[in-house]
Amino acid sequence: MRTHELVLGWIEQQLSSGELVLGGRLPGERTMAEQLQVSRTSVREAVRILEAMGVVRAGVGSGKDAGTIVIAEPGSALGSTLRLHVATRHLPVADIVETRVLLESWAAARAQPGVPELYEAAELLDQMDAAPDVDTFLGLDARFHVALAQAAGNAVVSAMMASLRGAIENYASELTGNLPDWNATSGRLRAEHRAILAAVNANDGRKAADLVAAHIRGFYTEAGVGSASTQD
Amino acid sequence: MRTHELVLGWIEQQLSSGELVLGGRLPGERTMAEQLQVSRTSVREAVRILEAMGVVRAGVGSGKDAGTIVIAEPGSALGSTLRLHVATRHLPVADIVETRVLLESWAAARAQPGVPELYEAAELLDQMDAAPDVDTFLGLDARFHVALAQAAGNAVVSAMMASLRGAIENYASELTGNLPDWNATSGRLRAEHRAILAAVNANDGRKAADLVAAHIRGFYTEAGVGSASTQD
């Protein structure tokens, strides 16, 4: 085992045992290096990897705010990994799109009316009606889909769903610039979002799942990303 | 942007543009450091992160086999990330189990009879009948499930499915040691695998999906891992 992997293993063990908890601080670089008898370089490499995995945020401040904090951001970390594997052509964009359809239609079918995430989703739709530009719109759009996925109550599905969107975000946002008529597209997307949310609130899981599947496939098809199959 | 992120961005751009391809070699540490005008330490940190993401394998040899190679192993990388977030208690084990059920029943319903992955799956079942010990059995078992997922032809679903199993492998293998009667359990698992494969080969996707869902939930329930819901 290489020395930075030894550090990673030790930190994972500290997390598993509960010695180190969410929001807690990692020991300082020098302390860990001395305790594990490895170089400070190896400690720093391990911390960089944990940062990339969304497990810690490296310290930037000084005084009582200094230090490396344990966080829980698996979605963006999984998204970076998927994005790199899309870049190597190992993961086809069309497979990313279909997996999004699978996870989001599952979540839409299981979201429970009345949970707080659905109120947040409704609020986001109101903000989208007033979004001043495409980037603001797409940012709110992403948050709407995450809120809907979270309403199903499965943290792994939520994290994976967010990662899939993140993995091909660049492709989609490059292409939204080329859409023939953004006002028409955004009007359609807003109407589709409202119909999806209405079906969830009416406890019609089947309809919500079908609507969200058509919504996702339609968006990527119009943006020219992937060639979403229709076998689902 | 920190300097190691600059190196990551440059490598991602080389992959996207096709300058760097699967099986290809990264430039040497010193070359990249000079070209990007960063320290060799920053280059090494970026390479460590890419290793952890399953995008490269760092060089160990010398001569013509030396160098850092571009690979495609997203499954194990995603699994390590999920495992760490399970360790922080951010991702519940039960959610991991239910997501496995979702992805694998989707794949079982869509696997096409006659594809090579199903012949491999059948071969793995024969090997499991003759497995000399629990670890060999579980290794073959993991490969059977991956082959079945691959038969559905979605690389993202396959990678995610493999990552979920990897994320809670330690929990499951600790607990298989505590099963009341391993021979009885392995006999049941082998019979269930054959029934799943038979349903796929008979093009009965619905039945294959139901059987694989029951099989996964049953295994984790018996091993005492998670509390798989039955809402699916």
pLDDT per residue over B188-210, tens digit each?
999 999 999 999 999 999 999 99
Interface probe for B, chosen from A106, A156, A227, A231 (most Cβ of B below 10 Å), is A156
Contact B53 A96 (CB under 8 A): no
Is residue B224 within 8 Å of B175, Cβ to Cβ? yes
Option in A72, A85, A110 nearest B85 (CB):
A72
Interface probe for A, chosen from B78, B156, B171 (most Cβ of A below 10 Å), is B156
> What are the tens digits of pLDDT across the range B134-163?
889 989 999 999 999 999 999 999 999 999
Contact B55 A88 (CB under 8 A): yes
First to last CA, chain B: 44
Q: Which two tokens stand for residue A200?
A: 């969830």
CB pairs under 8 A between A and B: 140
Contact A48 B49 (CB under 8 A): yes
* Alpha-carbon span B106 to B205, nearest angstrom: 9
In angstroms, what CA-CA distances link A169 with A166, B14, B72, B157, B180? 5, 18, 21, 19, 49
Residues of chain A with pLDDT under 50: 228-232
Q: Which two tokens stand for residue B4?
A: 């190691």
pLDDT of residue A201: 97
Checking B35-41 for CB contacts under 8 A at 24+ apart, the result is: B36/B6, B36/B7, B36/B10, B38/B3, B38/B4, B38/B6, B38/B7, B39/B3, B41/A41
**Considering only CB atoms, which chain A residues are within 8 Å of B90?**
22, 72, 74, 155
Contact A91 B102 (CB under 8 A): no
**Considering only CB atoms, which chain B residues are within 8 Å of A85?**
53-55, 72, 74, 159
pLDDT of residue A166: 85
| Structure ipTM | 0.90
**Considering only CB atoms, which chain A residues are within 8 Å of B22?**
88-90
Is residue B215 within 8 Å of B192, Cβ to Cβ? yes
Q: How many residues does the structure list for chain A?
A: 232
How many helices (DSSP H) and strands (DSSP E) are in chain B? 11, 2
Q: Please, what are the domains in chain B?
A: 3-70 (1.10.10.10), 74-222 (1.20.120.530)
pLDDT of residue B229: 43
**Considering only CB atoms, which chain B residues are within 8 Å of A44?**
45
Option in A21, A55, A84 nearest B53 (CB):
A84
**Considering only CB atoms, which chain A residues are within 8 Å of B77?**
81
In angstroms, what CA-CA distances link A137 with A147, A151, A224? 15, 21, 19
Say what the pTM is. Answer: 0.91
Contact A82 B98 (CB under 8 A): no
> What are the tens digits of pLDDT across the range A32-46?
999 999 999 999 999
The mean pLDDT value of chain B amounts to 90
* Alpha-carbon span B202 to B24, nearest angstrom: 41
Is residue A228 within 8 Å of A221, Cβ to Cβ? yes
- Which one, of A138, A118, A104, lies nearest residue A208 by Cα? A104
- Which one, of A15, A176, A197, lies nearest residue A104 by Cα? A197
Give B133's DSSP letter. Answer: S
Phi, psi of B178 (to 5 degrees): -100, 5
Give B56's DSSP letter. Answer: E
* Percent of chain B surpassing pLDDT 90: 76
Option in B49, B85, B88 nearest A52 (CB):
B49
* Percent of chain B surpassing pLDDT 70: 92
- Rounded to 5°, angle at Cα A216 from A215 and A222: 90
